[in-house]
């Protein structure tokens, strides 16, 4: 089986945020035929879209998996449900949010998923962590390095980097 390289954005702004992140990463790492390769720092960020809510903690992880995209998406949605995510309003508060940002260098546009994630370039809480772990990755739709996109599109949602080490890696 071929290993796919996948980047996943993780965000949380409810409950014990660090615990939510660690639990999500641990569960992702336990998905069959999947392994964690790297993890960015964790960033405290301002809310995006709907502003009347608590700040978020965000990061990006890089995994390898032999799962096809649709099955990986189902696994991630299952993890969100296990952790108690309830979809309320668009961009609203959430206990955990797991977004597939890139799946290899593929461009996919289907009803239930778009790859690369369409919001990447507006979100420095995705771009900055991505730049930290993979600055030379080429965004397949824009044909530009993450580092160059990051330098162009920052919108100042990041408040600070959290000094925290995950011992799962």
Query: Over the stretch 56-73, which tens digit does the pLDDT of each residue have?
Result: 999 999 999 999 999 999
Q: Which CATH class is domain 4-162?
A: alpha beta
- Catalytic-labelled residue, pool 3, 16, 54, 97: 97
Q: Is 123 a catalytic residue?
A: no
- Catalytic-labelled residue, pool 3, 16, 94, 148: 94
- Catalytic-labelled residue, pool 3, 54, 85, 105: 85
Q: Is 97 a catalytic residue?
A: yes
**Location of structure tokens 């790859």:** 115
Cα separation values, 91 from 4, 36, 79, 97, 141, Å: 28, 27, 19, 10, 24
What is the chain's Cα-based Rg?
Answer: 15
Pairing of strands 138-139, 144-145: antiparallel
- Catalytic-labelled residue, pool 3, 99, 105, 123: 99
Grade residue 79 by pLDDT with cuts at 50, 70 and 90.
very high
Domain boundaries, the chain: 4-162
Res 84: pLDDT? 79
pLDDT digits (tens, 9 = 90+) for 122-160: 888 899 999 999 999 999 999 999 988 887 666 677 777
């Amino acid at each position: 089986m071929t290993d796919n390289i996948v980047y996943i954005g993780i965000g949380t702004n409810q409950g014990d945020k660090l615990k939510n992140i660690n639990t999500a990463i641990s569960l992702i790492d336990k998905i069959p035929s999947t392994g964690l390769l790297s993890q960015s720092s964790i960033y405290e960020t301002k809310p995006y879209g709907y502003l009347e809510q608590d700040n978020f903690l965000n990061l990006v992880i890089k995994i390898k998996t032999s799962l096809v995209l649709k099955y990986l998406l189902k696994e991630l949605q299952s993890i969100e449900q296990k952790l108690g995510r309830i979809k309320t309003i668009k961009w609203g508060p959430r206990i955990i949010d797991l977004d597939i940002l890139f799946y290899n260098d593929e461009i996919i546009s289907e009803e239930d998923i778009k790859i690369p994630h369409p919001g990447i370039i507006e979100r420095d809480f995705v771009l900055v962590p991505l730049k930290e772990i993979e600055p030379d990755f080429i965004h397949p739709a824009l044909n530009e390095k993450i580092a160059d996109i990051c330098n162009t599109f920052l919108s100042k949602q990041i408040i600070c980097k959290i000094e925290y080490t995950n011992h799962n890696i």
